[in-house]
Structure 1
Amino acid sequence: MENVRQSLHKLKIDCSQDNVPGIAVLGSGGGLRAMIALQGTLRELENQNLLGIVKYLCGVSGSTWCMSYLYKDEDWPKKLPTLEDGLCEKLAGGSWKMSKVLDALGAAVDEDDEYSLTDFWAYAIIYEVLNELDETLLSEQASEKGKAPYPIYAAVDGKRLTEASKTSKEIWFEFTPHEAGFPSPGGFVSTTHFGSEFENAELKKKNKEKNICYLRGLWGSALASSEEIKKAIIDYLEQLWSIFEKKVDAAFLQEEKNQSETYRMLSVLKDKWNLLSQDAQVQDYVTLSEILEKEFAETAKQTHLHEEPFIGVWKLLKIVDKILHLLYTWTWGSNRNFLYKCRDIQSGDLTNDDIISLVDAALAINSAYPLILRPERKVNLILSFDFSSGDPFETVKMAAKYCMENNVPFPKIDEKTLEKDKDNPEDCYIFKEENAPTVIHIPLFNRVNCEGKIKEWKDKYSTFRLSSYTDQEIRDLLRVAKQNVSNPKTKQRILAEIQNAAK
């Protein structure tokens, strides 16, 4: 808190140690667009001497990708120019390698009993989008020096998520460098033990901590509709299938292929792939791969199949087979439930299941107001940066609804004005009311920085994009994000609300 007070003093805002305002920055979801825009936003907040006054930085989906990139260096606020250049180089450079994908997927299949589509999404799709397979750990971001806002990464419980439960406290889940858990009903575990097996709060089996690459897949697992996501996964499987064909041919060069039942079955599976409709591919291949796995497993008992190139076929088969089953069941975010049979938690539906399913928080609210508005965080000023592709006010409207239904203080919003402005928003909106936190809401693309071309900007930077942007596209997006903070009028409005919060 002393660091925040000193930063306020630089802005000529003085307050006592007991009256330091609780200021939070919210970064919404929005895929790669959100990642880049949050980078630009944070750099400009630092340029304007505003970042040092922020107590919490809370992200959803694409914003978490930016956060997890920055927080690998605890001094990141002072290194933002260098980190920005590094991000541009990483995203535009294209260092993706299929061999790394296969190694990561194979290891996950072998090591993780709760393997789900999140593993595939993380190690294949998100790695390709971000050009980084980050195996660092969230717990390594822990710092007691207070040089940066405290990071909070959002998710929700997919098993309990329904249209009606989107505004429920119970579904929200948070990750920090120190702990992970459900703020309501108040069950947490050390981040290093997330994914380990517990029963009634007793550790039964310590599993490996999930790495950042996996968590990026979990936090950013809803970049599009389920149909678009399924198509992306199936398209990716076709790439794996072409590799599979080559491995099959190589594996059986030493054999009389016409006499090998295993090879004939592999050939049937290979040939049928392109004949199936997309809907039929998943279900039919689950059945075929079960037959194939049984046949190949029998043959694998022979000594020579424990050697290359047969072992390569077997490993790839296990990956493809696992993904096909998960596509059929649409299983995401499976992890061991650390609250399983925990008698101290009054939530039967949560404690009865030994597996939880965590998914992208954007499926509930695309900005994590529920996490930042926990009473113990004592936040009285929120800087909401909205990187959404649709209605730029949907997050704040959903937050108002959430707060109303859960008796959480929140300022009134004028929905009529927001509805009128949604296709051509201003660059800054302030919602304030006594005995409630003040919200400064800043849409990414607005009438000030887009100069009448908001739709063109939105179309150019779509949320679901399986390739990165060019270096120029990245720098253009960084520029408009920075303008939302550097605009003199907006900065003065922010400073005025900081002054009010410090009274």
Structure 2
Amino acid sequence: AVSQADCYVSLWLPTATCERSRTKTVRNSDNPVWNETFYFRIQSQVKNVLELTVYDEDFATPDDHLLCALFDTAKLPLDKTVILYFKPAADAKEELEVEFKLEVAPGPHEMIASNGVLVCRELCCLEVEVAEKTKQKSKKELSLTVKGSFEGTQDIVLGPNGVVSPSCPTEFHYIKYAEPTLDVMLPKKRRYHPWSCRYSTETGSPVVMLNSLPMGRKTTIAEEKRFDLNVTAKPCNCSCHQDLDMRFGFNLCSEEMAFLEKRKRYVASALKNVFHLPHDLQDQEVPVVAIITTGGGLKSMTGLYGSLMGLKKLNLLDCVTYISGLSGTTWTMANLYRDAYWSQKDLDSHIGEAQKQATKCKMGCFSMDRMKYYNKQLCQRKEEGYRTSFIDLWGLMIEYLLNDGKDPHKLSEQQEALCDGQNPLPIYVSVCVRDSYSTNDFKEWVEFTPYEVGLLKYGAFVRTEHFGSEFFMGRLLKKLPESRICYLQGMWSSIFSVNLLQIWGLSHSSEDFWKRWTQDRIDEVDEEPVLPTRPHELRTRMYTPPGPLSSALRGALTDRFSVAQHHNFLKGYQLHNSYMENEHFCRWKDTVLDSRPNQLMQNPDQLGMIDAGFFINTSSAPLLRPQREVDVIIYLSYTTGSHTSSLDKACKYYSEQKIPFPTISLTDEDKKNLKECYIFQDSDLPGCPIVIFLPLVNDTFQEYKAPGVKRCCSEMEGGQLDLTSSCSPYCMFSVRYTDENYCKLLNLSEYNILNNSQMIMQALQTAMQRRRQKMC
């Protein structure tokens, strides 16, 4: 006879406890009844989603998944018993009956801090000390575990002659109201049994409920012949944002605000001189102009030098407030910002140094001495506390490609180039990704400035010198030395973070064919009876896990060769109960996990970051934060592929996100034969910037060596550049140019700026007029 199911229910509420609970198994029954009660203490300001999963227990194979319901406990009325029925589908015969009751927990209110998206819970610190009573020559080890804490598991070694390692008290940082426990594995004891003439080994494993400990008072939890084990629980203040070691909000940081005030003076003066204005501009009249770029390796690095040279010659560089980059343009930016006053000087020396590096032989990159250097640097980085990857090696190779020796510079040191507002503020762009998810399904924008590094969607920022250090619940618990900028360049311009799904996307217009293999199956259902809903509550969902074949194929399609790994500064945070209604979160809400808070905040220890070009080849996202109030975007496209592709993708993306961005209207003829400059604007859309689109195309430059100056016959060769063919010397993977090819590319990018100066100035005038109209 075929046996019936052996069912049990697993309950997971990670915002209340890190432990999964489960019922007993009811064997050989098609109508199991458990009648078990579970208690969870929840924080009402946190989004608490209970996952109820029914399994059929198997001994020989993994347990079969029968049903998984994701239920938002915010739907429950207070002090009322509610019985709900969960079905995997509306017409399904199987259903799970669950009784709920929500009550107010006695005791003091928990002190929390929140920015409307993230919640910082009340934190405690447990100190564990070993007081040795007798000195012995043997060595003993204790293993201590606080699940869900920052530290996890730590060991204490009792050495010979009373030496205890570590000598200072062992600390655990944990969420106070998450049912924390201390599990202690005491040293093994050997006992002699005279009746059997044998020894047996015994281990002691006391478990301490940490919330039962008196705050601030030393308590002995284990007394052994050799030592006593003492613990002390202490509170960690986190009741306001000032108690945290990271910035918790969506406004600009105070340093950037101060910079903007200083930069306005440069911009106002430059605009007055360029347009010969009869009076000084008021602060409200000064438009915010930003340069954004696309990536493209050495081509984009060289192209940006030429474009900046053109803006410098037009006296427009001082009109720019921000410059953002990704991929190869970050190489230009990082080199320029070593000089604190680069934009106030002639750029010839910087361009000459860049030419020297772009045209040098790169074979020394693989020499034995260089390999030893790479190994030494990676070992040092690992000793400092970083998790190294191939991306770090790539960063060291970039260091060699762009420099004569070791580059000691760090991103935070670029603050010196901003102290008087003398240069535009640089913003470097990356995206955060997750394992087993394609970049289209999961990506989160990350911005890097000399002041701070942050994830736009969460309003969470750490000081730049602290990026890579270890945080827990907003607290800096382990400070690491700041990374040299070459390691960041490896991440910002990584060509090794591609996966098969992205390769498919390069040759096909859509990934839809693979979505059934790479996306989780989540279906919205109505519980019975249907509970009244409020806007911030999540619909009840049924989750169907992928089968073995789907999981294997998904892994093969989404696995990336290498991803930059940095300690996750969001570790420990939970989501606010109304996070889905927060306007700042919704602005960047575009991943498949956004409505699954348990998975979204199931924070890995490491953040995986890749070149933003693997999503949309543009550095525009941070500049469209409404707090930056950008009026004009100078869009410099150096991409090797279609110039309009990244622009169209950006326009589509921002439209879907309801972020103000002008409609891109280009005819098929324009797309086939691009001009040097286009202006896109939408005056009817509030907050929409004017976009000056400058693709790196070789149009009139073929016949003109300078605006209005035609080439003679002997100069025609200087205007011939192969930018698009597969044999082009400017392909993305080219790491060395000849002097001739470098100069041609530099001159072309400079020429395209100079030749379209009137259109650029027209856009700036329009922006000033809009500013004046707002003042009326």
Structure 1 length normalisation: TM-score?
Answer: 0.74
Offset at residue 350 of structure 1 (A): 4.3
- Structure 2 residue 394 is matched with structure 1 residue 121: yes
- Structure 2 residue 406 is matched with structure 1 residue 130: no
Task: Report the counterpart of residue 483 of structure 1 in structure 2.
Answer: 751
Q: Distance in 1 between matches of 2:562 and 2:350?
A: 35
**Map 1:452-467 → 2, pairs under 5 A:** 455-456=722-723, 459-465=728-734, 467=735
Offset at residue 63 of structure 1 (A): 0.5
Compare CA radii of gyration and give the structure with the larger one: 2
Q: Distance in 2 between matches of 1:189 and 1:48?
A: 37
Q: Distance in 2 between matches of 1:223 and 1:19?
A: 45
Task: Report the counterpart of residue 566 of structure 2 in structure 1.
Answer: 335
Task: Report the counterpart of residue 701 of structure 2 in structure 1.
Answer: 449
**Map 1:225-236 → 2, pairs under 5 A:** none
Task: Report the counterpart of residue 253 of structure 1 in structure 2.
Answer: none
The amino acid of 2:289's aligned partner reads I
- Structure 2 residue 420 is matched with structure 1 residue 145: yes
Offset at residue 127 of structure 1 (A): 3.2
Offset at residue 456 of structure 1 (A): 5.0
Task: Report the counterpart of residue 739 of structure 2 in structure 1.
Answer: 471
Q: Distance in 1 between matches of 2:662 and 2:303?
A: 26
**Map 1:274-353 → 2, pairs under 5 A:** 330-343=561-574, 348=597, 349-350=600-601, 352-353=603-604
Offset at residue 92 of structure 1 (A): 2.4
**Map 1:183-262 → 2, pairs under 5 A:** 183-222=456-495
Q: Distance in 1 between matches of 2:721 and 2:354?
A: 25
Contact 1:91 1:131 in 2 (8 A): no
Give % identity: 33
Q: Distance in 1 between matches of 2:497 and 2:391?
A: 14
Offset at residue 444 of structure 1 (A): 0.9
Contact 1:31 1:223 in 2 (8 A): no
SS at 1:204 equivalent: strand
SS at 1:422 equivalent: helix
Relative to structure 2, which stretch is displaced further, 444-453 or 336-345? Answer: 444-453
CA 101–164 in structure 1, closer or farther in 2 if over 3 Å, else same:
closer
Contact 1:30 1:223 in 2 (8 A): no
Contact 2:445 2:457 in 1 (8 A): yes
SS at 2:348 equivalent: helix
The amino acid of 2:566's aligned partner reads N
- Structure 2 residue 689 is matched with structure 1 residue 420: no
- Structure 2 residue 375 is matched with structure 1 residue 102: yes
Match of 2:659 among 404, 408, 429: 408
Q: Distance in 2 between matches of 1:193 and 1:130?
A: 25
SS at 2:434 equivalent: helix
Task: Report the counterpart of residue 308 of structure 2 in structure 1.
Answer: 42
Q: Which blocks of at least 5 consecutive residues in structure 1 are unaligned? A: 231-327
Offset at residue 135 of structure 1 (A): 2.5
Contact 1:157 1:172 in 2 (8 A): yes
- Structure 2 residue 424 is matched with structure 1 residue 157: no
- Structure 2 residue 689 is matched with structure 1 residue 437: yes
Offset at residue 128 of structure 1 (A): 4.3
The amino acid of 1:176's aligned partner reads T
Offset at residue 144 of structure 1 (A): 2.1
- What is the aligned-residue RMSD (CA, Å)? 2.6
The amino acid of 1:162's aligned partner reads S
Q: Distance in 1 between matches of 2:285 and 2:609?
A: 37
Task: Report the counterpart of residue 261 of structure 1 in structure 2.
Answer: none
Task: Report the counterpart of residue 33 of structure 1 in structure 2.
Answer: 299
Q: Distance in 2 between matches of 1:351 and 1:464?
A: 37
Give CA-to-partner distance per residue, 1:262-284, whole Å, 9 cap, x none.
Answer: xxxxxxxxxxxxxxxxxxxxxxx
The amino acid of 2:411's aligned partner reads L
Offset at residue 437 of structure 1 (A): 0.9
SS at 1:164 equivalent: coil
Offset at residue 379 of structure 1 (A): 0.5
CA 482–411 in structure 1, closer or farther in 2 if over 3 Å, else same:
same
Offset at residue 358 of structure 1 (A): 0.7
Offset at residue 16 of structure 1 (A): 2.0
Give CA-to-partner distance per residue, 1:330-383, whole Å, 9 cap, x none.
Answer: 341110011111247757424622210011010111112211111001001100
The amino acid of 1:127's aligned partner reads E
Give CA-to-partner distance per residue, 1:273-332, whole Å, 9 cap, x none.
Answer: xxxxxxxxxxxxxxxxxxxxxxxxxxxxxxxxxxxxxxxxxxxxxxxxxxxxxxx97341
- Structure 2 residue 633 is matched with structure 1 residue 370: no
Q: Distance in 2 between matches of 1:104 and 1:405?
A: 44
SS at 2:373 equivalent: helix
Q: Distance in 2 between matches of 1:393 and 1:33?
A: 17
Q: Distance in 2 between matches of 1:454 and 1:469?
A: 13
Contact 1:424 1:446 in 2 (8 A): no
Give CA-to-partner distance per residue, 1:183-223, whole Å, 9 cap, x none.
Answer: 11211100000000000001110011111110110000037
Give CA-to-partner distance per residue, 1:372-430, whole Å, 9 cap, x none.
Answer: 11100100110000000111111211111121111111111125x1x433343110111
The amino acid of 2:677's aligned partner reads C
Q: Distance in 2 between matches of 1:499 and 1:186?
A: 33
Structure 2 length normalisation: TM-score?
Answer: 0.48
Give CA-to-partner distance per residue, 1:145-178, whole Å, 9 cap, x none.
Answer: 1111110000001227635347xxx611010000
Q: Distance in 1 between matches of 2:317 and 2:568?
A: 36
Q: Distance in 2 between matches of 1:394 and 1:424?
A: 14
Q: Distance in 1 between matches of 2:607 and 2:699?
A: 43
SS at 1:180 equivalent: strand
CA 353–187 in structure 1, closer or farther in 2 if over 3 Å, else same:
same
The amino acid of 2:440's aligned partner reads A
The amino acid of 1:422's aligned partner reads K
Contact 1:431 1:438 in 2 (8 A): yes
**Map 1:253-272 → 2, pairs under 5 A:** none
Contact 1:155 1:172 in 2 (8 A): yes
SS at 1:390 equivalent: coil
Q: Which blocks of at least 5 consecutive residues in structure 2 are unaligned? A: 1-263, 504-558, 580-593, 704-718, 770-776
Contact 2:330 2:428 in 1 (8 A): yes
Task: Report the counterpart of residue 280 of structure 1 in structure 2.
Answer: none
Task: Report the counterpart of residue 256 of structure 2 in structure 1.
Answer: none
SS at 2:676 equivalent: coil
Q: Distance in 2 between matches of 1:353 and 1:102?
A: 27
Task: Report the counterpart of residue 259 of structure 1 in structure 2.
Answer: none
CA 200–344 in structure 1, closer or farther in 2 if over 3 Å, else same:
farther
CA 373–45 in structure 1, closer or farther in 2 if over 3 Å, else same:
same
Greater relative contact order: 1 or 2 (C-alpha under 8 angstroms, separation 6 or more)?
1
Contact 1:26 1:384 in 2 (8 A): yes
Contact 2:497 2:562 in 1 (8 A): no
Q: Distance in 2 between matches of 1:154 and 1:351?
A: 24
The amino acid of 1:428's aligned partner reads C
Contact 2:354 2:402 in 1 (8 A): no
Offset at residue 9 of structure 1 (A): 0.7
Offset at residue 31 of structure 1 (A): 0.5
Task: Give the number of aligned pairs.
Answer: 396
SS at 1:188 equivalent: strand
Relative to structure 2, which stretch is displaced further, 443-452 or 331-340? Answer: 443-452
Task: Report the counterpart of residue 9 of structure 1 in structure 2.
Answer: 272
SS at 2:329 equivalent: helix
Q: Distance in 2 between matches of 1:222 and 1:420?
A: 32
Q: Distance in 1 between matches of 2:616 and 2:469?
A: 28
Q: Distance in 1 between matches of 2:276 and 2:634?
A: 18
Q: Distance in 2 between matches of 1:91 and 1:455?
A: 18
Task: Report the counterpart of residue 62 of structure 1 in structure 2.
Answer: 328
